[in-house]
Amino acid sequence: MIMLAFLAQTLRIAIPYLFASAGGVISERAGLIGLTLEGYMLGAAFTAAVGSHYSGSPWIGALCGIAGGVAMAMLYAVCSLRFRANQIVVGIAINLLAIGLTRVFLRFIFDSSSNSSRVAGFGSETGGGLAALVSNPLIWLGLATVPALAWVLYRTPFGLRVRAVGEHPDAAASVGVRVNRVRYAAAALSGMLAGLGGVYLVLDQHQFTDQMTAGRGFIAIAATIFGRWDPVRVALACLLFAAAETMQIQLQGMKIVPSQFLEILPYVLTIIALAGVVGRAVPPAALGKTTEPV
Amino acid sequence: MNSKVRDTLVEGVVPSVVALMIALVVGDILILVFGESPLAVYRLLLEGTWGNAYGLGQVLYKATTLIFTGLAVAIGVRAGLFNIAAESQLAAGGFAAAMTGLLLPATVPAVVAIPLCMLAAMAAGGLLGGVPGVLKARFGAHEVIVTIMLNFIVLALLSYLISAHFHVPESLHTEEIRTGSIPRLTAASSYFAGSAANFTIIVALIAAAAVWVLLFRTRAGYELRAVGLQPEAAEYGGVKVPSVVIRTFLISGALAGLGGINYVLGYKHYYEEGFASGAGFLGIAVALVGRSHPLGIVLSALLFATLSQGGLAVNALVPKQMVEVLQAVVIIAVMTSIPEVRRALRGARPVPAT
Amino acid sequence: MTTPGSQLPGSPDVAVSMQNIVKSFGAVQANRGATLEVRRGEVHAIVGENGAGKSTLMRILGGLYPPNSGVVTVHGRTVTGWSTAEAIDAAVGMVHQHFMLVPTLTVAENIVLGRELTRGPFMLDRMRSERAVADLAMKTGLLVPAGRRVDELSVGEAQRVEILKALYRGARTLILDEPTAVLSPREVEELWQVLRRLRSEGDTIILITHKLDEVMAISDSITVMRHGETVEQLRTADTNPAEIARAMVGRDVALPAHAGSTGAVDSRSVALELKDVRVRSTRGTVAVDGLSLAVARGEILGIAGVEGNGQTELIEAIAGLRDIESGSITLSGASPEDISDSSVEARARAGLSHIPEDRHLRGLVLDYSIEDNLILGMHRQFTKSGLLDRDRIADNARRQIAAFDIRPPDPHQQARALSGGNQQKIVVAREMGRDFGVLLAAQPTRGVDVGAIEFIHARLREARASGKAVLLVSADLTEILALSDRVAVMYGGKIVSMQARAEASEESLGAFMTGASRVTAA
């Protein structure tokens, strides 16, 4: 019984990570650094809340959220590809932009600096429980993303081109692949997927709260790196991190291990992966290399 | 004016000016969305900052921290590195200063205590900076992800230390330090009455001058900049690139850590969780708009501090969060205009055939 | 020997015809009226030294850029100025010298990229792709493991994948640019077998090369280029290496019977000594293969050779920018000092100066001023208690700018803004202005105007006269012959000849540089 509850909660926590890290994988595999996942999630969460608020339908809300995520991704892609701006700095700025814009419009539309009004969503009002979980379509969508992403990446021409473009864009260009077009498509997908992570959060809690993503986008990128940019491994990493988080919540009252120590587990694991202590995490070779040659 | 100076000025100043203009336009749009008049808002902003003593004091106070974090990020950028961990280094520095101030007996005179606290702050920040430095130099681990991860780790650990051990009940801060306080500016003149501005600003300006000397007048700075511009040429010139990477991160971390004294020694006289409140990340914007040059950084820090304080002043008319939007817009605008300006300059002057 | 133009371009026998091709890049004229005629179903070699214009001509054929003037016909159809896409559609495929392969993808994936076989609208048909690749491989004899990742292949196998890429897109005319540059002798043989097989299928092959032994081994006809023009069109069966070499160089060639006297060096005056040095290239192949040499004080030892035969790696190894796998490097100042493991800085302190072959990458920090570049590598000497001594730096700049006539004479000018010649003068001024015993000069006058060339050559002679040892590496034979006391030729990572200046000539050196001497010896 406890085991089931543990699994259920882990799954609930993992879904946003699964969505966002899927976005991270497709983006980074194509050569675009995925620091912006946090911004996509937050922006999409807000637009989803707005959409759901005005239409009364969570489905419309979800679509609006996706649109929001894609819009932010396109902004990032244009800055990186057309203007050749430094991806890292622009990425951080996009995250800040998401925070700022959501706060401004939170005031403007909902007249509050902390949360929106109640909106129609998917999650059960009372939260928790396996039944509530099963009835949320986004849970199924989130789980489906893993095999879907693996299939797209390894079994479609588009996925092949994404992988080529992220490793050796010159080789891809030499056989006629439109490198930037592939990257724009990958960015759009990344915005959509990460956006779904934010959509899930909002529609599950039935409201948008200021900065509600709370760093999940960074855990997602940590999972992407820790999982070595492979969809299945990344998904496992997400489950691992989610399990650690569940443990942290459950142990909170008990003072066995300070909660902060479990909280930092994903970040520590990622640094270890990068330092190559347990095998090397080698990113796609052309990752981040869209800046102007000097 | 010879062409080198002109080109440097153009490449340095134009992107920042363009960025500010774009930010202005975006700001206007947002203000209009809220149904207010841009002119009225800007006037209120100026009145609330440079127009009154308290406001100006607050601007100087906020700018002080930003100068430290801006310098920290800038020195990394000059070496081709990104220190995104300035936020946690700042917090850790403040914590170290607070702990030192608590541990030293109250009888220790300020002239000894203050430098000791400052050293503690720099040591804490520097040590933390060493982590990404070593990981990059030894293992080639990309410092951006490492520093982002470190931010979370360090801030979480600091939170633990406060909540589990050092906090004053019912609060998230430590006890007041026994010695090592830095006097407010009001001690010198009553002009800044009530504001948080304190003499740390002098330290900040000295730090800016020191960084300038380091970058442009020392051998270490010569090597550092070479590594950032053309690591292959630096290697050819006998520079040991991995050592430079580690050294740069140590200095960067130390600068960010030192910034912690503004709040801890100069304002509240204790460490409080969250006191950094984004100054580490803003330091990135400050460094970029200031084109990684100490003079530019001081000016840029004043600008961002003005925006931040101004946001509070105009809160009646438009949400102060608009300032955050503008800050992000400025960063994006600067980063996109730098390559454009560079391309325009190179295109105008044909590169001689090799 | 057929006379040019004896085959009408429209005749069905002619696969490719290029007439009077002119192509300039800014002030550089790469092709000035070059001509080419290749019959269908033959292997045609285009030979010439570095800078003869071979690659440019083939890139025009391959569709990378259009000529300024001239006509290109393929199978009777005029195609001047077409794009790579059109060229590929017309069955003309180019195999580049630097492979365009994605290392983490498999062989089959690399080959089908851009023209993927699908099952249904979205799905990659991996089985059909691998089968198509295997079929093609079998048919052409280019055996490759279709399912293996490219980064696990040998260089020879990777090249086969590149060729298959072109064939997969239907190429019947193949252009190969210096294909044997990265191959071992056995892999070269295997490549010949492949080319012969393709020829027997009726494919046309054009080979860019500078190696005469290969030309004799595989080609049916030859075009010799020199200075952007076509100077000879020959049938391989009717000619010989001497004739080809003569055409390449423009004078009668007398291939020496042996590699000439070694011009031994008095051991007491040796300043730089290499023993059995082995160096790997960045790719992992052996670039310098057990090389030994010695440079004496007061001499200029010139190493001639076409670029890519290990000279770059050799100089980098001596300078300390590349590790050596085995062997030793010794510098003799007051006493011999083994510098095989020393840092760049230590070698500089021991009296080693280095004019690098790539001034834009290594020699200068382009964004630094002239005066700052003039102290790169010796900046420690211009430091006083950690601070740069601005006065001495300015003084040094003033002197050097005047002595070397660097223009514009503004010490604060960014190096990026200077012409190639002036940039090189900064490097030369710096490297020769310090206290050195041995100078490494790699391509010291590449991309430099005539006036600056004279100047730099005079400085090099001065160094010799004052008892310094100079190791000169250059692809420019005139320069080598003008300056050197002894001349060595580097080919395939080894020194293949060492002669005193009096015995060396452009013709004989040219022969060694192209491996022709190996043919006569065999």
Neighbour count for residue C391 (Cβ, 10 Å): 10
Take residue C436 and report the two structure tokens written for it. Answer: 């050195």
Sign of CA dihedral A167, A173, A177, A180: positive
Name which of A149, A174, A228 to mutate to probe chain C: the one with the most chain C Cβ atoms within 10 A of its Cβ: A174
Is A175 in Cβ contact with C113 (below 8 Å)? yes
Neighbour count for residue A210 (Cβ, 10 Å): 16
Q: Work out the pLDDT band at C520, boundaries 50, 70, 90.
A: very low
Name which of B148, B167, B291, B341 to mutate to probe chain A: the one with the most chain A Cβ atoms within 10 A of its Cβ: B148
Q: Do C337 and C311 belong together in one domain?
A: yes
Q: What is the extent of the structural domain holding C120?
A: 103-171
Average pLDDT score over residue span C101-110: 92
Q: Do C87 and C181 belong together in one domain?
A: yes
Chains that touch A (3 or more CB pairs under 8 A): B, C
What is the predicted pLDDT for the residue at C450? 74
Average pLDDT, chain C: 85
* Nearest partner of A224 among A43, A23, A36, A12, judged by Cα: A23
ipTM: 0.86
Share of chain C above pLDDT 90, in %: 43
Shortest CA gap C364–chain B (Å): 6
pLDDT at C279 over 90: yes
Chain B CA closest to residue A265: B153
d(CA C248, CA C240): 13
What is the predicted pLDDT for the residue at C141? 78
Take residue C414 and report the two structure tokens written for it. Answer: 């960014």
Whether the bond into C408 is cis, omega within 30 of 0: yes
Domain count across chain A:
1
pLDDT at C515 over 70: no
DSSP one-letter code for A256: S
Q: Do C56 and C196 belong together in one domain?
A: yes
- Out of B145, B288, B321, the one facing A107 most closely (by C-beta) is B321
User: pLDDT by residue (tens digit) across C448-496?
Assistant: 877 788 889 999 999 999 999 999 999 888 889 999 999 999 988 899 8
d(CA B174, CA B97): 11
- Largest Cα–Cα separation, chain B: 71
What is the predicted pLDDT for the residue at C72? 93
Domain count across chain C:
4
Alpha helices in A209-276 (DSSP H): 216-226, 231-250, 259-263, 265-275
Name which of A271, A278, A282, A291 to mutate to probe chain B: the one with the most chain B Cβ atoms within 10 A of its Cβ: A271
What is the predicted pLDDT for the residue at C116? 83
Average pLDDT score over residue span B248-266: 94
Is B349 in Cβ contact with C354 (below 8 Å)? no
In a domain, A134, yes or no: yes
User: pLDDT by residue (tens digit) across C147-168?
Assistant: 889 988 887 888 889 999 998 9
- Out of C102, C114, C123, the one facing A156 most closely (by C-beta) is C123
Q: What is the extent of the structural domain holding A41?
A: 2-275
First to last CA, chain B: 27
Q: Which of C234, C253, C272 is the last residue of a domain?
A: C253
User: pLDDT by residue (tens digit) across A43-72?
Assistant: 999 999 999 999 999 999 999 999 999 999
Average pLDDT, chain B: 87
d(CA C217, CA A14): 65
Q: Work out the pLDDT band at B73, boundaries 50, 70, 90.
A: very high
In a domain, A236, yes or no: yes
Is C387 in Cβ contact with B5 (below 8 Å)? no
Q: Which of C209, C238, C253 is the last residue of a domain?
A: C253
Q: Do C87 and C177 belong together in one domain?
A: yes
What is the predicted pLDDT for the residue at B351? 36
| CATH at A163 | 1.10.3470.10
Average pLDDT score over residue span C73-95: 87
pLDDT at A129 over 80: no
What is the predicted pLDDT for the residue at B202? 92
More confident residue, A25 or C502: A25
d(CA C454, CA C433): 18
For C:326-345, CB contacts with B below 8 A are 343-345
Q: Which residues in C lie closer than 8 A to residue A167 (C-beta atoms)? A: 102-105
Pairing of strands C438-442, C469-474: parallel
Average pLDDT score over residue span B253-264: 94
Neighbour count for residue C2 (Cβ, 10 Å): 12
In a domain, C261, yes or no: yes
pLDDT at A189 over 70: yes
In a domain, A287, yes or no: no
What is the predicted pLDDT for the residue at C251? 62
In a domain, A289, yes or no: no
- Out of B3, B222, B233, the one facing C379 most closely (by C-beta) is B222
Neighbour-count burial of B205, counting CB atoms closer than 10 A to its CB (0-12 exposed, 13-18 middle, 19+ buried): middle
In a domain, C305, yes or no: yes
Is C114 in Cβ contact with A168 (below 8 Å)? no
